[in-house]
Every structure is written in C-alpha cells, then in structure tokens.
Amino acid sequence: MAESLSRAAPELATLVARLAQEQAKRKWAEMRVTQLEEKLRLLRLKKYGPQGENLAAFYLPLFDEEPGVSLDEVAAKAASPDLPEMPPCKRKKHPGRQSLPADLPRVERIVACPAAEC
C-alpha cells in the first residue's frame, strides 16, 4: 500500500496543481463576465437611460427578452423581391407672394447718404 501511495503521489500533486489552475481560470472568467455585464448595463443606461427617454433601471432586463433577428430571417428578406417603386408625389406649385393692388399710390423716394456709407 505504501508503494502504491508513493507512485500515486506525483500524479496526485499534478492533479491538485491542475485543479488549482482550473479554479483560477474559472474565477478569472467569472470576473470577466461580471465586468462585461456591468459594461453592458452602463451602455444600456447611456443609450436608454434617464438622459434619453427616462427609462427606469428595472426596465433594462426587458431588452434581454426582446426577440432578435436570426440569420435565416435576414437571408429570406434579402432573397425576397423588392417592393415596386412608387411614382413621385405631384406637388402643387406654391402660390408665392401676391402682387399689390394696382390702385395703391406708388411713391419713389431717393435717400441721400454720405460716400463713406455707400
């Protein structure tokens, strides 16, 4: 039994070291996920937050539940025929400014000004 323990000791040590390494990787990954979630939360607050539309923080998880567009839907939309073009709308000509009545008296005044102001 002592012989089998002495043979298993190096293997056990390597397994313990590997376990510690995997736990460190897992802890780092969890911290990275937490960091990215916080960054996503801040970006959502910036886009949808109080400065924009007065969106309360408890509404932000609803955006996670919003259905996204799949690649199949995008491909189907790209393959569908385009909509027929609509003829341009005919705009009415703006009437513009109306002319003054002909019976109004017309007065022409010439205002003299110094040469420096001309």
Which pLDDT value is given to residue 2? 57
Which pLDDT value is given to residue 21? 95
pTM of the model: 0.36
Average pLDDT over residues 7-36: 91
Query: How does pLDDT run across 41-77, given as a tens digit for each residue?
Result: 888 888 877 665 556 667 767 766 666 766 777 677 7
Q: Where are the domains of the chain?
A: 2-78
What is the SS3 assignment for 39-94?
Answer: HHHHHHHHHHCCCCCCCCHHHCCHHHHCCCCCHHHHHHHHHCCCCCCCCCCCCCCC
